[in-house]
Amino acid sequence: MKLSVVIPVYNGADFIEKSYHSILSQQIQDFELIYVDNNSQDPSVEYIRKMVQLDSRVSLLAESKQGAAAARNTGIKHAQGDYIYIFDVDDEIYPGALQKLIAVLEAYPKTDAVFGKMVKSYKGISETRKPDDETHKVIRKEPPYWGLHWFSSLKTVVGPPAFLYRKRVFDKIGLYNEAIRNNEDTALDIKLGMSSRVAFLDTYVYLYYKHADSTIEQSKRKTPRAFMVWPRLVKEHLPFYLEQDTPLRFKSLLFSQLFQSMGRQVVFTKGLHKRQDLKKQLYFDVQAIQIPLVIRLYLSILVILPYEFLRKIYGYYVVPYAVKQLLN
């Protein structure tokens, strides 16, 4: 089988039919469509079962462990295709995009994955103007180029539906980290870019539909960014650093982001005792590495005086100095 499409679903009844037709419109003959229900409380399962009866290429799995990472992993484990495409039920794919991604991997057999561009919109594809800056060129890079590129700036990161993976790549890099509840896709793709051959297709692949009810948008409203990125740093990138021979640039980015996040979390936390407890937990989370004395001293100051202007001094001057000393 050529292609497996994996679609996790959590209360996505309003988007089931649209997601199905979005895949069908790609006009790929040899494929399977795997929906993975993740404890939906709405009619999602009922709608998917109707599709299973009508189309033998559609199947329904269930994953009781909550979270996109677990649901995606279940789909990947059951996938039969040579290529795996991870789709979000509420997004849309541009016409012919999957065929273009497949063509890249078929043209370059040693390339492990390919990704394109995404459009963010509060409306669907039919109501959203697609930018006209596509060149359709293919840019291939050896590792760790893309890993460092994404790790250095989250603004350059695209969502899972922008990617097409060879199934074999998951045997190489592993699956999504289920210990991470947000940014698990970014964690996987940075690891992918650090260790695998990845190509970029300068073509818009999908539309990321921004709506208030999406899981990620709800998380952003509830949790400051510093707290959201911390699990990814300590449960994915720190272990990768400890287990792999990483380049100096990766180490610099890792230490800088760890120390910056520590300062932000302390300042964002209300209550002296809570900040003290948080600092202890942060030290515990990164006990595998040396925390420079200047970082420890300044974090102690921020625990007592959690002012933003002090945090900026810490971020602009203290962290870069500490990282430089640590790397030397």
| Same domain as 146, residue 171 | yes
Q: Quick check: is 214 in a domain?
A: no
Answer yes or no: are the C-beta atoms of 201 and 108 closer than 8 Å. no
By the 10 Å C-beta count (0-12 exposed, 13-18 middle, 19+ buried), 96 is classed as middle
Q: According to the model, what pLDDT value does residue 221 have? A: 46
- Enumerate residues 6+ apart whose C-beta is below 8 A from 94: 125, 130, 204, 205, 206, 207
Number of domains within the chain: 2
| Same domain as 232, residue 163 | no
Taking only the tens of pLDDT, the chain with its 328 residues reads 899 999 999 999 999 999 999 999 999 999 999 999 999 999 999 999 999 999 999 999 999 999 999 999 999 999 999 999 999 999 999 999 999 999 999 999 999 999 999 999 999 999 999 999 999 999 999 999 999 999 999 999 999 999 999 999 999 999 999 999 889 999 999 999 999 999 999 999 999 999 766 555 444 445 578 899 999 999 999 999 999 999 999 999 999 999 999 999 999 999 999 999 999 999 999 999 999 999 999 999 999 999 999 999 999 999 999 999 999 8
Tokens standing for residue 59? 């199947």
Q: Quick check: is 71 in a domain?
A: yes
Give kind and range of the element (H or E) at residue 9: strand 3-9
Which one-letter DSSP state was computed for residue 318?
I
The pLDDT tens digits for 159-200 are 999 999 999 999 999 999 999 988 999 999 999 999 999 999
Last residue in a domain, options 148, 180, 209: 209
| Sign of the CA dihedral running 37, 39, 45, 47 | negative
| Same domain as 203, residue 241 | no
| Same domain as 138, residue 254 | no
| Same domain as 201, residue 240 | no
Q: Quick check: is 103 in a domain?
A: yes
Report in angstroms the alpha-carbon separations of 253 from 157, 243, 319.
15, 16, 11
Q: Quick check: is 13 in a domain?
A: yes
Question: 3-class SS at 295?
Answer: helix
Q: Quick check: is 205 in a domain?
A: yes
| Same domain as 238, residue 205 | no
Q: Quick check: is 217 in a domain?
A: no
Give kind and range of the element (H or E) at residue 267: helix 248-268
Q: Quick check: is 215 in a domain?
A: no
Q: Which domain holds residue 305?
A: 223-327
CATH number of the structural domain spanning residue 192: 3.90.550.10
Tokens standing for residue 151? 């790790």
Question: 3-class SS at 181?
Answer: coil
| Same domain as 194, residue 105 | yes
| Same domain as 184, residue 228 | no
| Same domain as 275, residue 179 | no
Q: Quick check: is 194 in a domain?
A: yes
Answer yes or no: are the C-beta atoms of 61 and 45 closer than 8 Å. no
Last residue in a domain, options 178, 209, 240: 209
d(CA 86, CA 81): 12
Place of tokens 């933003």: 308
| Same domain as 144, residue 15 | yes
Which one-letter DSSP state was computed for residue 82?
S
The pLDDT tens digits for 243-295 are 999 999 999 999 999 999 999 999 999 999 999 999 999 999 999 999 999 99
Pairing of strands 198-209, 92-93: antiparallel
| Same domain as 237, residue 183 | no
Work out the number of other CB atoms within 10 angstroms of the CB of residue 127: 9
Which residue type sits at 38?
A: N
Last residue in a domain, options 156, 185, 209: 209
| Same domain as 264, residue 144 | no
Report in angstroms the alpha-carbon separations of 4 from 48, 52, 93, 171.
17, 15, 15, 16
